Amino acid sequence: MNNEYYRNEPHGNHSGKRSSYAEYVRRERTHLDDMRAIVPRTTMQIVSQQLIALLIFVVTYILLATEYREATIATMAGVAALWAFGILTPEEMVSYVDLSAIGLLFGMMIIVGALREARFFRWVGVYVANACRCRPMHLLVTLTLMTAGLSALLDNVTTVLFMVTVTIDIAELVKLDPKPYILSEIVASNIGGIATLIGDPPNIMIATATGFSFLDFLVNMGPVALVALAVSLVYFRMESMKNMKKAKAEQQRQKTVAIEGQEVTPDRRLLSTGLTTLVGAVLLFSLQDIVGIYPT
C-alpha cells in the first residue's frame, strides 16, 4: 500500500513521505467511518418505515372494525398516509390494484343488482316458505341450503342481506324466533362462498394470483363445502330443536305466508334478463378452458 509513496518521493524527503502517508490514512479512516454510518442509517430507515406502515395498518383496521368512519374513507386515508410518509409511490399503488378482480366484482354486482330490483330474492324466499308450509324444521333446512346455493353464485353479503330480510318477514308472520334461521344462513353463506371462484372476493384474488379456474375451485372446494354444510345443518338442527317444539300447533299447520302480492311478484322482464345473464356467466366460467374467456 505504501510502495507508491516511496517510489514517487525523493529519497531525501522523508518528512514529505510521512505527511503524505498520514493524509492517506486519514482519508481511508474517514471513508470507513462513512461506510459504517451508512449501513445503520439505512437499516434504521427500513425499520422505521415498517413500523410506520404497521401503525397505519392497525389504525385503519381499528377504524374499519369500530365503523368510526365509512370503510372507503378509512382505507383511502390509510393509502394517503402511506404516500405521505414516502412508504409507497403513486406508481407502486397503481401496480397493486387488481383490475381483473375489480372487473369481475363489478360485473357480478350489476347482475345481483338486477336480480334485487326484480325482487328475485323475496320472491324465492316466500315461495320456499309456502312450499314448506311454514313448518319450522323444513324452513330451517330449506333456507339454509338456499342461502348456501345463492352464495356460491352471487355475492354472499348481498345474499345474506336479502335472505335475512325474507327470514325476518316470515318469522314475524308465523310467530317464530328468527335467530336460529339467521345464524344458520350466515354460516351457510360463508360455506357456500368458498365453493366457487365467484362466491367470495378472496377467491377472485386467489384465482388472479394463482391462475386457478372456475372448475378448479369447484372440484377442490365443492366437496369440502358440502361436508361443512352438512355438519352445520346437523348442529343448528340440534340447537334449534327446543325452539321448534315450542311453536304452536296452529302455527306449524299454517299453509301460506300473507305478504302483499306486489312484494312477491317479480319483474319478469328484468328477472329473465338477470337470470339469463347469470346462467350465461356461470357457463362461460365453467367452459373457460374451451372458449378461452377467463373470469379474471
Lowest mean pLDDT among 73-77, 174-178, 252-256: 252-256
Inform me whether the pLDDT recorded for 183 exceeds 80. Answer: yes
**Integer Cα distance of 101 and 246 in angstroms:** 47
Within 10 Å of residue 219's Cβ, how many Cβ atoms? 10
**Integer Cα distance of 285 and 203 in angstroms:** 14
Tell me if the pTM is above 0.85: no
Residue extents of the structural domains in the chain: 3-95, 99-291
Residue whose entry in the numeric block shows the C-alpha cell 317444539: 245
Amino acid at 94: V
Q: What is the pLDDT of residues 101-132, one digit of tens each?
A: 788 778 888 888 888 888 887 787 777 777 77
Dihedral, CA atoms, 171, 177, 181, 184, nearest 10 degrees? 170
* Sequence-ordered alpha helix ranges (H) in the chain: 3-8, 14-66, 71-84, 90-95, 99-117, 120-131, 136-153, 156-174, 179-193, 201-210, 214-246, 249-252, 261-264, 268-286, 288-291
Q: What is the pLDDT of residues 222-272, one digit of tens each?
A: 899 999 999 998 888 887 776 565 555 445 444 444 444 435 677 788 888
